[in-house]
Structure formats: C-alpha cells, structure tokens
Structure 1
Amino acid sequence: MTTIADRLANAQHRIEQAAQISSRNTDEIQLLAVSKTKPNSDILAAYAAGQRRFGENYVQEGESKVKALTPTCPDIEWHFIGPLQSNKTKVIAAHFDWIHTVSREKIAARLNEQRPQEMAPLNICIQINISGEDSKSGATPAQLFELADKVVQMPKLVLRGLMAIPTATSDKQLQKDEFQRLQALYQELQSLYPQVDTLSMGMSNDLEQAIEQGSTMVRIGSAIFGEREKR
C-alpha cells in the first residue's frame, strides 16, 4: 500500500525532474502540501516524512488544525490559500504565516490591522485572475501594481509575490501562455520590490509546466493525500 511518505517522495521527485529538464535548481522550488479536508493524522504523517509547509483553504478548519498541531510541530509553516471574506481576516492574521489570496486593499488593510504585534509580519501573495474567468477570484493584471504599492506600505505585512490558478484545460498552449503572462508580471514586480521571491503556481496536474515557466512554489494536494473529501 502506498503511504503518504511514498507519495510525498514521488511529488518531490517530479519537482526535481521538472527542474532538471528546465535547467533550474531544485532548491528554488518549494512544495506546499495542500491538506484541506484531510485529517490531522495525514498532516502528521507528511510532517514525519519531512514536509513543513501546508496549505489550507477553509478558515475554520485551518484554524483548528493550526491550534492542534503547532504546539507539537513548532517549525510547521501554515499557508492560507482559499478565498477570504473580510469578516474572517482576524483568524488568518492571528494564526497563519502566509496568505496567497489577497486581491483587494480592504482585505490587506484588515490583515495588517489584525496581525498581532508579537508575531512576525504576515507573508502576502497577491492573487491574480490570469485567465480572466468570472468564476475566479483575483486582481486583474492592471490592478496588480497599485495593490502591491498599498501592501508594501503596511508594516505588519510583507509582500512576497504572486499566486494564480490558470484555466483548467487540456490545452497545453493556453496553459503555457497563462503561466508565461504570470511570470512576466512576477518579474516586473521583482524589479520594483526586491523582497519579492515567490511565484505560487502549479498543482498536481500541471506542476511540470509551471516549473518550466518559473514557478517557485507548487501547491500539491491530491498527489500526496489522495482525492479530497467532499464538503
């Protein structure tokens, strides 16, 4: 029977192979294990196998996991990667290390106001709706730089980069085009803000393509934990 440790090792191997093909250093690419809907025991199994970065999509579920697991896993790193309503920002500000889905100044301002003074600044990725689909969250490319300028002025936040979810498609060229547009935005953002170092794109089914186009963080869930439970 294949274990979580086996699947985690396989995901890491895929990252290493993709990096090699693209003539990139594997150390430039981080694996974020997407643990939404999965039990704490699965997270602990991945942690025991060496994984430290975990992504959660749901505020209440994520909060309970942070509270339950952080005391015994002090070097675990929690990333919030789901949509966030303004009335839920306090939980994220108080418990998470990263959020990948900031797309409005109002959300950023609330996170800044609610980040506890004793905690390190909250790491921020601006979500871009690179596909332009109405069903997807995210700032438009045209809105990016004004929003970035607001975020960098907030003392309890640190702008780290961009996140996007491209079109779910078997059209490799469309996928490549969207990844390339995101990489171009990322490089422009880096030229303005030297602390920017994270391009969060690519998931279980397209991580090779994302790495080829410059991803520095791939979000992998089902390839590690199996298909997620229905909510």
Structure 2
Amino acid sequence: MPLPDITARIAAACEAAGRSPAEVTLIAVSKVQPPERVTAVLEAGHRVFGENRVQEAQGKWPAWKDAYDGVELHLLGPLQSNKVRGAVELFDVIHSVDSLKLATRIADIAQQVGRCPGLFLQINTGDESQKAGVAPEQADALIRDIRALDVPLLGLMCIPPVDETPSLHFALLAKIAARNGLPGLSMGMSADFEQAIALGATHVRVGSAIFGDRVRS
C-alpha cells in the first residue's frame, strides 16, 4: 500500500524543513474511490479523510464513522448554501469557505444543530475566474468579518494554478495567514505536498498517490 510511502515522505519533508511530522495532518482524499480502496486505508489505521461533495460523502461515511473510531472527515470541494446543513452535520472540517455569506450560513446552522466544524478560508491565490476562493487582496477584511461570527476559523486553503510554480502560491498563502495570526495552512496535494510542507503546510491533501487514479462510474 502506498500509504506508508507517503507518510515516510512527509516525515522526510518535515525533517528537511526543521519541523515535526506531528505538525502536518495527512488528509487522504477519498473522493470517487471504490469502497475497497478506502476501507484498506481505514484498516491500515489512517483516520483523516477528505471528500469533495456532501452528497457523495453522505452515502458512505456515516457507516464508516460507525465502524471505525476516530474518523475525521474534511470537506474540500465547493459548498452550496443548500448543502450547508448536511456538511455541518457530517464533516469535522470545511476547507472551502469563500464568502461571508457562506460563513454566516454555516454559523447559523451550527447554532441550530449544536456543532460547528473547523473552517478554512479558501484563497484564490492565482486569481483564476473559474476557481472558487476570495482574492488575496480581500482576504484580510473577510478574515476579520468571519472572526466576528465566533466560528472556529482554523486557517487558509489554496489550490495553485496547474501551470504555475506552486511554491509561489504556498508562500503567498503563508504570508496572508501569518499577518492575520492564523495557524492553519491547507495546501499541497499529491504532486507538490513536499514543497507545501517546506513552506509551512499544516494539512496536505493527498488522493491519487495513496489510492491510485480515481475511478468514475
């Protein structure tokens, strides 16, 4: 199984950066993966997983959460307002908050259901029109407004443009987080998580390198 290889690479990247591996959470991105691949990783003892869609996660994770103690589920994909209740009820962390409206909706639902996931604000570091996230120059004001909602804002998330050097975007995200006193940095995927760790990532999102290529029906 590739999982031990990934954890070893994370440990090596942390050592090279003078960091402890305990500072980096590996999110195994299980979206669009066959159940047997996910259960194999669960059986290996891993407990932190990421999904892109609320509905897909609702179809499989309640049973796995019952069967395996300590599962922590992260929502990585865009969150529509009509899916907020389901996300708040199922997920432990939401990485894709990208507006005050969405954060307010999450806060309102959290009050109703009695639990609030940890939140990451998604920054569109590449200013890509097709990608979710707030523009870097708007981040400070939005962070201030979200903090006023009294929700657990853990940090920032980004997905660099595929045709640009990811380390430039990781450095920008880290700079925005540092000046706002936010400890969490959700950045780095299968192809670049070692660069992200070198620049301070606290959460890396690795799918294909653990599970293999996605399987779509």
Cα drift, residue 212 of structure 1: 1.1
Shift of 1:70: 1.2
Paired residues, what number?
217
Return the offset for 1:198. Answer: 1.4
1:176 matched to 2:171: no
For 1:54, the equivalent position in structure 2 comes to 49
Q: What is the match of residue 14 of structure 1?
A: 9
Query: Which string of whole-angstrom CA distances, capped at 9 and with x for unpartnered residues, describes residues 147-187 of structure 1?
Result: 222222324x3000000001213x5xx32221111111111
Question: Which stretch shifts more, 97-106 or 133-142?
Answer: 133-142
Deviation at 1:50, TM superposition (A): 1.7
Instruction: Report the equivalent of 2:190.
Output: 204
**Shift in Å, 1:116:** 5.8
Asked whether 1:213 is paired with 2:196, we answer no
Q: CA–CA distance in 2 between the matches of 1:67 and 1:116?
A: 22
Q: Note the residue ranges of structure 1 that are not aligned, 5 or more in a row.
A: 1-5, 191-195
Supply the distance in 2 between the matched residues of 1:189 and 1:44 (Cα, whole angstroms): 38
Aligned amino acid, residue 65 of structure 1: K
The 2-side partners of 1:96 and 1:39 are apart by 20
Q: Deviations over 1:112-131 (max 9, x none)?
A: 11126564431000000001
After superposition, the C-alpha distances for 1:95-128 in whole angstroms (9 at most, x for unaligned) are 1111000011111111111126564431000000
Give the letter for the 2:128 counterpart: E
Contact 1:151 1:159 in 2 (8 A): yes
- Within 1, Cα distance between the matches of 2:36 and 2:146? 36
The AA in structure 1 aligned to 2:26 is L
C-alpha separation between the residues in 2 aligned to 1:77 and 1:65? 14
In 1, the alpha carbon distance for the partners of 2:16 and 2:46 equals: 24
The correspondence for 2:103, drawn from 100, 108, 114, is: 108
Report the Cα distance in structure 2 between the residues aligned to 1:106 and 1:100, rounded to whole angstroms. 15
Q: Which aligned pairs between 1:110-149 and structure 2 lie closer than 5 A? A: 110-115=105-110, 119-149=114-144
Would the aligned equivalents of 1:93 and 1:116 in 2 still touch at CA under 8 Å? Answer: no
What is the match of residue 156 of structure 2? Answer: 162
Counterpart AA for 1:224: I
For the aligned residue pairs, the C-alpha RMSD in angstroms reads 1.6
1:86 corresponds to 2:81: yes
Cα distance in 1 between the residues matched to 2:184 and 2:166: 19
Residue 167 of structure 2 corresponds to residue 185 of structure 1? no
Misfit runs of 4+, over 3 Å: 116-120
Code of the aligned partner of 1:221: G
> What is the deviation of 1:137?
0.8
Is the Cα contact below 8 Å between 2:54 and 2:83 reproduced in 1?
yes
**Unaligned residue ranges in structure 2 (runs of 5+):** none
TM-score (norm 2): 0.94
